[in-house]
Amino acid sequence: MILQVEPIHLWWFFIIGLSLVGAAAAVGRWLIAQAQQKTDAQVQLLLEDSRKWTQVEMQLLELRVELPERYVRREDYIRNQAVIETKLDRVFERLENLRLQGAINGGET
């Protein structure tokens, strides 16, 4: 059995094959264009997010500058409070000593 292809049929196969390749190329271009659009949209979202993060970073830096001016650290407060209490204790001791000296001097006279 021999398969014979007439020249007219050969052109049809060539045209159909070329059409299929062209259709595949068109579908491929369309798919690439769709992927490019999705990628561009995602890049835009990332750029917007990066701008938002830049704003957040700037606000955080401003807060770091502002915090020491407005708030006292717990350790600093405790240390300052201890100093104040020590000074008050010394004043109380002096007053107590003066009272005792007055009682002793008042008892002798």
**Strand extents, DSSP E, 1-109:** none
Rounded to the nearest integer, the mean pLDDT of the chain is 88
pLDDT in tens, 63-102: 998 888 888 888 889 999 999 999 999 999 999 999 888 8
d(CA 43, CA 60): 25
pTM for this entry:
0.43
Please tell me the predicted confidence (pLDDT) of residue 87.
97
Domain boundaries, the chain: 12-71, 72-109
Greatest Cα-to-Cα distance within the chain, rounded to the nearest angstrom: 152
Q: 3-state DSSP call for residue 66?
A: helix
Q: 3-state DSSP call for residue 1?
A: coil
